[in-house]
């Protein structure tokens, strides 16, 4: 079983729709959860982090965490073509604080 799993996509949504990105993780001891956005050839950019069960909202983005189900998701409301990118889910590993375990990423395409 992979440690962090994401659907590779591509996920295609029309402009203005809600994009829903999902991630599951295997280590029940994980405490910190991150969503990074990566444009082709660019660095991963942190867009959301969540530590507690429930929802966390920031602008058009909402992260949802369910530790019992070992599931974390990212919702993007009013999707824009500029949101088209690969979204990486990352979970803290058992090593040092910044030892993150990444999923392979979900490629999102927002069609005008």
Q: Can you give the binding site for other proteins, defined by CB under 8 A?
A: 4, 32, 34, 36, 41-46, 49, 88, 92-93, 95-105
Give whichever of 79 and 86 is closer to other proteins, judged by the CB atom.
86
Give whichever of 36 and 79 is closer to other proteins, judged by the CB atom.
36
3-state secondary structure of 81: helix
Give whichever of 71 and 102 is closer to other proteins, judged by the CB atom.
102
Q: How far is the CB of 47 from other proteins (least distance, A)?
A: 10
Single out the residue of 30, 14, 17, 13 nearest to residue 89, CA to CA: 30
Q: How far is the CB of 62 from other proteins (least distance, A)?
A: 18
Q: How far is the CB of 100 from other proteins (least distance, A)?
A: 6
Beta strands in 8-70, from DSSP E residues, in sequence order: 11-14, 19-25, 33-38, 45-50, 54-58, 61-66
Query: 106: part of which helix (H) or strand (E)?
Result: strand 106-111
Give whichever of 15 and 45 is closer to other proteins, judged by the CB atom.
45
């Amino acid at each position: 079983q992979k440690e962090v799993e994401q659907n590779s996509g591509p996920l295609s949504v029309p402009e203005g729709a809600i994009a829903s990105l999902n991630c599951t993780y295997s280590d029940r001891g994980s405490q910190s959860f991150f969503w990074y956005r990566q444009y082709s050839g660019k660095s991963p950019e942190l867009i959301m982090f969540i530590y507690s069960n429930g929802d966390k909202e920031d602008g058009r983005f909402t992260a949802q965490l369910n530790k019992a189900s070992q599931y974390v998701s990212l919702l993007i409301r009013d999707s824009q073509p500029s949101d088209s990118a690969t979204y990486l889910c990352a979970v803290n590993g058992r090593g040092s604080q910044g030892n993150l375990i990444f999923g392979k990423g979900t490629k999102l395409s927002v069609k005008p």
